[in-house]
């Protein structure tokens, strides 16, 4: 296939988007700090054009805000905003689960998500410290992606994808790189039981139950957020993105 300017540009655009997002969530820039296209381009080794596009995209996602004089600054988030984003994901995933139950799921898709649940089971152990943690995080992301598309609604899938880009709204927001936090590992046992119940409710065509379970499942992220802020603030050093969240 011929390489067009567009196909050459796409990897740079993705690299720029991921690079700028990592700078923000990795704590390299602080809330209210203005971002310099030139400095970011030099740091990431990418030209300014894809950096400019990445900044505009991240403003749409809510990580950045426009400055009246021009350019972008990193947004800070009130705790309530983060909780609202988690709740919104729960509403959307609950709707996806309900619609899947009411409309019915093609056999191939049902087999696929049940296989994900079975694979997740293999990572779970009675003692949280014995879990195959990294594999769980990977499969958990795959489960939620599958759930988003289970009803066949592209609108629902797209909106779930949009909301999970918000800080801390992702199903794995408090899982990555936190393998040795017992409270987080313990939440995986609860999460896996909920995965099974959600799929069972969808398969049994119990829409209301499926929706309620999916909404409750999303609240695990809220519980982990509250654990860090209220019970173990020492974790803030290891989760630099939480610098974006105020009290």
- Note the pLDDT of residue 6: 44
Q: How confident is the model at residue 163 (pLDDT cuts 50, 70, 90)?
A: confident
Dihedral angle sign, alpha carbons of residues 115, 89, 224, 174: positive
Q: How confident is the model at residue 132 (pLDDT cuts 50, 70, 90)?
A: confident
Strand bridging mode 34-35 / 72-74? antiparallel
> Would you say 205 and 104 are in contact if contact means Cβ atoms under 8 Å apart?
yes
Span 154-167, average pLDDT = 88
High-pLDDT (> 70) share of the chain, %: 85
- Note the pLDDT of residue 195: 97
Range with lowest mean pLDDT among 5-9, 169-173, 192-196, 220-224: 5-9
Q: How far is it, in rounded angstroms, from Cα 30 to Cα 144?
A: 30
Structure tokens at 137: 């995080």
Span 101-107, average pLDDT = 96
Position 162 pLDDT exceeds 90: no
- Note the pLDDT of residue 235: 66
User: What pTM was estimated for this model as a whole?
Assistant: 0.77
Q: How confident is the model at residue 79 (pLDDT cuts 50, 70, 90)?
A: confident
- Note the pLDDT of residue 2: 41
- 245 burial via Cβ count (<10 Å: 0-12, 13-18, 19+): buried
- Note the pLDDT of residue 3: 40
Q: How confident is the model at residue 52 (pLDDT cuts 50, 70, 90)?
A: very high
Span 214-227, average pLDDT = 88
Q: How far is it, in rounded angstroms, from Cα 118 to Cα 121?
A: 5
Position 216 pLDDT exceeds 50: yes
Span 104-128, average pLDDT = 91
State how far the alpha carbon of 111 is from the alpha carbons of 106, 115, 150, in Å: 9, 6, 11
Q: How far is it, in rounded angstroms, from Cα 19 to Cα 53?
A: 12
Q: How far is it, in rounded angstroms, from Cα 167 to Cα 203?
A: 32
Q: How confident is the model at residue 175 (pLDDT cuts 50, 70, 90)?
A: low
More confident residue, 95 or 14: 95
- Note the pLDDT of residue 226: 82
């Amino acid at each position: 296939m011929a390489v067009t300017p567009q196909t050459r540009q796409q990897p740079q655009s993705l690299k720029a988007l991921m690079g700028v997002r990592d700078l923000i969530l990795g704590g390299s820039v602080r809330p209210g700090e203005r971002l310099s296209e030139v400095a970011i381009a030099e740091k990431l080794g990418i030209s300014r054009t894809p950096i400019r596009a990445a900044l505009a995209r991240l403003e749409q996602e809510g990580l950045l805000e426009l400055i009246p004089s021009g350019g972008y600054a990193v947004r800070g988030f009130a705790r309530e905003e983060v909780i609202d984003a988690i709740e919104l994901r729960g509403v959307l995933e609950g709707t996806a689960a309900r619609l899947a139950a009411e409309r019915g799921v093609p056999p191939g898709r049902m087999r696929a998500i049940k296989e994900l649940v079975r694979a997740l089971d293999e990572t779970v152990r009675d003692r949280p410290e014995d879990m195959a943690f990294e594999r769980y995080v990977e499969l958990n992301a795959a489960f939620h992606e599958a759930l988003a598309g289970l009803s066949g609604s592209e609108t629902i899938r797209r909106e779930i994808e949009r909301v999970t880009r918000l800080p801390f709204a992702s199903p794995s927001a408090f899982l990555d790189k936190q393998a040795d936090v017992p409270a987080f590992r313990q939440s995986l046992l609860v999460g896996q039981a909920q995965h099974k119940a959600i799929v069972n409710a969808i398969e049994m065509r119990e829409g209301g139950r499926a929706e309620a379970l999916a909404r409750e499942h999303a609240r695990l992220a809220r519980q982990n957020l509250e654990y860090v802020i209220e019970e173990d603030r020492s974790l803030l050093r290891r989760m630099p993105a939480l610098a974006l969240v105020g009290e």
